[in-house]
Structure 1
C-alpha cells in the first residue's frame, strides 16, 4: 500500500472523528482537514492517475460543500450567515 492511500485512510478516520464533535469544536480541526484534502487528492492522482483524483475531488466537494460555499461567498463579497 502506498503512503498516499495510507494517509488518505487516516484522513478519513480523522474526519469521521471530527464530525462527531460538537460544532464549536469542529472549526479548527475541520479547517486543517479542509486544507489537507486537496494535497492528498493531488498526491493520490500523481500515484494512481487523474481519474482517481477527479473521483476524490468530487467526494471532497460533496463532503465540504457548506464550508466551501461559505468561503466562496465570503471571498466574492456576498453576505454570509453568521456562524455560531
Structure 2
C-alpha cells in the first residue's frame, strides 16, 4: 500500500513541477503524458489502499489537471445537447 501511495504522491509532485515550467503548447503534451501515467497509478492505489484513497487521489489528480477535466465536461455537455439522429 505504501508504494502505491508513494507513487501517487510522486506523480503529484512531478505534475506540480511541470506546471511551473514554461511551455509553448500550454502544457497539453505534459497533460496527456501525466494522464497516461496517472491512470494506472490511480488503479494501483485503488486496488492497494481501497476506494476511499482512490477517490482522494482522483480528486487530487483532477485538481492538478483541471483544464483537461473542464474541456471533457464541456465536450460531454455538447454531446448531450445535440439532438439524436
Which structure 2 residues correspond to residues 73-84 of structure 1 after superposition, within 5 A?
Answer: 73-74=74-75
- Tell me if 1:43 matches 2:49: no
Structural RMSD (CA): 2.4
The structure number with the bigger radius of gyration is 2
**TM-score (normalised: structure 1):** 0.69
Taking CA–CA contacts closer than 8 Å with sequence separation of 6 or more, which of the two structures ends up with the larger relative contact order? Answer: 2
Offset, 1:2: 3.7
Q: Which residue pairs with 1:59 in the alignment?
A: 60
Structure 1, gaps ≥5 residues long = 79-84
- Tell me if 1:27 matches 2:45: no
**TM-score (normalised: structure 2):** 0.68
Counterpart secondary structure, 2:24: helix
Distance in 2, Cα, partners of 1:62 & 1:68: 9
